[in-house]
Amino acid sequence: MIKIFDKYQFNNQWVLWLLVLIPVAIIIYTYINKNKHESLTISSLDLFRGIPESYLANYRHLLFALKLLGLGFLVIAMARPQIAIEAHSETELFKEGIDIIISMDASGSMLAKDFSPNRFEASKELAKEFVKDRKNDRMGLVIFEGEAYTQCPLTSDREILVELVESAEQGVVEQGTAIGMGLATAINRLRESSAPSKVIILLTDGVNTHGKIHPLNASEIAKEFNIRVYTIGVGTNGKAKTPVAIDPFSGRYVYDYVDVEIDEATLNTIANQTGGKYFRATDNNKLKEVYKEINELEKAKIKTIEYDVDLPEKAGIFIIIGICILVLEFIIGKLLIPSIS
């Protein structure tokens, strides 16, 4: 394509060579008209004085000019003029999002104070940061204690999800640690997902003690649905200040140092079976690093699509102008001055 006056560019630029015929036609027309009139020698012009020269005779040159101008506009239209822009192709980035469910333990032991202010609140805070970073994904939240329930189904509305993570509470259902039920409930939320990648982040601080589904059975189901499970064991090494009872007078938890027991073997097996990875987080910083690593491992796939942009066609206006000029030439030549040939 070439640009004319930095405003138009032409798709069929070779057609513009026809415009060269216009000056050629002018030269031929001038030559013919110059030699067309025969000369007559007379001794005096007195016989012709008083005879008005017909001004209409001069219009034959105007008709010729109009005809050339009209044909010139039609030639430009044939060249397919388009509005010139800087580029005629574009690149579109298409990101394939991932569907992610966070399944979080909310059992009593999650109130242990080896994290600040405790395991449950620290897990919620870092989960919110993780949600905010996943801008192209749908995410949801499952909470489990002795039973499991969906706190937030899959959604792309991060503000709503962050609010629901923040409002999640401990002690809503039966006490206990139903890891299998937490995993199964998360699977149920993902099993009908059409996303190219499905992930569960299973976070717990203990051993499966409740629920009708064993964690390894739930893991097999996740594998069947091509769901990767990242497991996180939360808790310090050794003993942690953990609630062991409730004061009957104040209603507050009574804390004591208790051995941290995490079923790391089961969590490792779940991760390995499903193509995920097991992490151990012993404090806030380590848990933050875990979420950061998962964020890096589960990058959204980016597709680059390049395509040509159809530039605005402006041939129509040139066709209209060309036809109008030719119609004007016809009206002047055939209707207003029929005597001129």
Instruction: Average the pLDDT over each of 166-180, 182-196, 287-301 and give the range with the smallest value.
Output: 287-301
pLDDT of residue 110: 94
Other C-beta atoms within 10 Å of 96: how many?
13
- In sequence order, the 6+-apart residues with CB closer than 8 A to the CB of 315 are 77, 78, 80, 81
**Mean pLDDT of all residues in the chain?**
82
What is the mean predicted confidence (pLDDT) over 216-232?
96
Task: Count the helices and strands in the chain (H runs, E runs).
Answer: 9, 13
Q: Which CATH superfamily is domain 94-304 in?
A: von Willebrand factor, type A domain (3.40.50.410)
pLDDT at 32: 78
d(CA 140, CA 126): 15
User: pLDDT value at position 341?
Assistant: 46
pLDDT at site 37: 54
Kind of pairing, strands 99-105 and 138-144?
parallel
Task: Give the whole-angstrom CA distance, residue 207 versus residue 96.
Answer: 35
| Helix/strand/coil for 244 | strand
pLDDT digits (tens, 9 = 90+) for 289-305: 999 999 888 876 656 55
Among 129, 132, 152, 127, CA closest to 142: 152
Helix (H, G, I), strand (E, B) or coil at 21: helix
- Say what the pTM is: 0.63
Domain borders along the chain are 2-36+55-87+309-336, 94-304
Is 16's pLDDT higher than 50? yes
Beta bridge partners of 151: none
Residues 95/318, Cβ–Cβ less than 8 Å: no
Please spell the DSSP secondary structure of 185-210, one letter per residue: HHHHHHTT---S-EEEEEEESS---S
The H or E element that residue 27 is part of is helix 21-36
Q: At a CB cut-off of 8 Å and minimum separation 6, what does 273 contact? A: 216, 219, 220, 222, 223, 229
Report phi then psi at 35, rounded to 5.
-95, 0
CA 61 to the chain's CA centroid: 60
Going 316 to 320 to 322 to 323, the CA torsion angle's sign is positive
Q: Which amino acid is at 119?
A: R
The SS3 of residue 16 is helix
pLDDT, mean of residues 110-119: 94
Amino acid found at 170: Q
Is 106's pLDDT higher than 50? yes
- For 263-290, how does the pLDDT look when each residue is reduced to its tens digit (9 = 90+)? 999 999 999 999 999 999 999 999 999 9
CA distance linking residue 209 with residue 16, whole number of Å: 84
Question: Could you give the angle at the alpha carbon of 262 between the alpha carbons of 210 and 133, nearest 5°?
Answer: 95
Can you give the pLDDT at residue 182? 96
